[in-house]
Amino acid sequence: MASYECIEIIGNISAVSNSTEIGSGAPYARVGVGVSIMESGVVSTRWYSVILRGSAYDPKDLEKYTKGRMVLVKGKPRFRVKAAKGDQTEPSIDFAIFPTEPIRLLT
């Protein structure tokens, strides 16, 4: 039996940036999305980088992804642990999502 990994988030857009992949030069966009979470009775924000590339990347769509808009994102999750730097005492985790369907605007 095959397995499948998927994540679904609802959050608010913080920023959108365009770039090109190193090597191939293919364009992509990064949409920052913040999600409120509660851990140990404390509400905080978990930040996700939603990576739009290939067929998911359409420069015309980026105009509607503005700061503060609420979105629904479904896709494949990727996590990367980064070593502590400077005055950090613990490592941090980068959360990324590669959408498997178009981002849906909720507001």
- Counting residues of the chain whose pLDDT is more than 70, the rounded percentage is 100
pLDDT of 101 reads 92
Beta bridge partners of 4: none
Number of independent structural domains in the chain: 1
Task: Give a yes or no: residue 78 inside a domain.
Answer: yes
Write the pLDDT tens digit of every residue in 25-61.
Answer: 889 999 999 999 998 999 999 999 999 998 888 888 8
Amino acid letter for position 67: K
Residue 1 within a domain? no
Question: DSSP states of 6-51 as a string?
Answer: -EEEEEEEEEEEEEE-TTT--EEEEEEEEEEEEETTEEEEEEEEEE
pLDDT at position 68 is 96
Structural domain containing residue 96: 7-105
Q: Which is more confidently placed, 95 or 2?
A: 95
In a domain, 91, yes or no: yes
| Cα first-last separation, the chain | 39
Q: Give a yes or no: residue 99 inside a domain.
A: yes
Does residue 2 lie within any of the structural domains? Answer: no
CATH of the domain at 68: 2.40.50.140
Structure confidence at residue 92 (pLDDT):
84
Residue 53 forms part of a structural domain:
yes
